[in-house]
């Protein structure tokens, strides 16, 4: 029986060793990648080896098609693409050209919503997954106010 652990948006998981009950806080971002559920092997300091299933807490994802400009300061890139889905926790961007990016890079995002006011949004994100032209990013916070918050919740 594999225990399922819900992973919060900050990608921290509390994993309890079934043998000695030691709780370890672990950053599991690199396991999660693009998948929302993954089974991992853990090795406790007591020597016990066990498996747990990680499951990302799901936020409602909205499929969208919004032009976006991504600035990657670390590389001096200014990339254009399309936001293909959007949620409280982050978004997915399909870039128009493939460039070398790395997980963990900070990205400055600027995009326009297709709401009534064509609201212009600027946000920071961190790259959590890369698959060819598709880049998954997480926002710094999952609390969005103003136009973006309204859009995610009600649009
Ligand atoms: Zn243990």
Please, what sign has the CA dihedral across residues 117, 69, 33, 43?
Answer: negative
Contact 64, 114 (CB under 8 A): yes
For domain 62-154, is the CATH number 2.40.10.220?
A: yes
CA of 128 to the centre of ligand 1 (A): 29
Span 72-128, pLDDT tens digits: 988 999 999 999 999 888 999 999 998 899 999 999 999 999 998 999 999 999 999
CA of 4 to the centre of ligand 1 (A): 17
User: What is the CB neighbour count within 10 angstroms for residue 4?
Assistant: 11
Residue extents of the structural domains in the chain: 3-56, 62-154
Contact 122, 108 (CB under 8 A): yes
Query: Beta 90-95 vs 106-112: how paired, if at all?
Result: unpaired
CA of 33 to the centre of ligand 1 (A): 26
CB under 5 Å of ion ligand 1: residues: 17, 19-20, 22, 44, 46, 48
Lowest mean pLDDT among 43-47, 67-71, 77-81, 149-153: 149-153
Euclidean distance between CA atoms 73 and 101, whole angstroms: 11
Reported confidence tier of residue 58, pLDDT bands at 50, 70, 90: low
CA of 21 to the centre of ligand 1 (A): 6
């Amino acid at each position: 029986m594999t225990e399922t652990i819900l992973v919060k948006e900050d990608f921290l998981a509390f994993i309890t060793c079934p043998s000695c009950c030691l709780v370890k806080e672990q950053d599991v971002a690199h396991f999660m990648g693009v998948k929302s559920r993954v089974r991992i092997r853990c090795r406790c300091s007591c020597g016990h080896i066990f498996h747990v299933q990680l499951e990302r807490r799901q936020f409602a994802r909205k499929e969208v098609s919004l032009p976006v400009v991504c600035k990657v300061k670390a590389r001096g890139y200014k990339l254009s693409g399309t936001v293909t889905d959007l949620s409280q926790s982050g978004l997915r961007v399909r870039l128009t050209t493939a460039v070398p990016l790395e997980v963990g890079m900070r990205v400055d995002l600027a995009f326009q919503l297709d709401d009534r006011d064509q609201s212009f949004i600027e946000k920071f994100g961190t790259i959590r997954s890369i698959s060819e032209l598709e880049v998954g990013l997480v926002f710094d916070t999952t609390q969005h106010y103003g136009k973006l918050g309204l859009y995610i919740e009600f649009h």
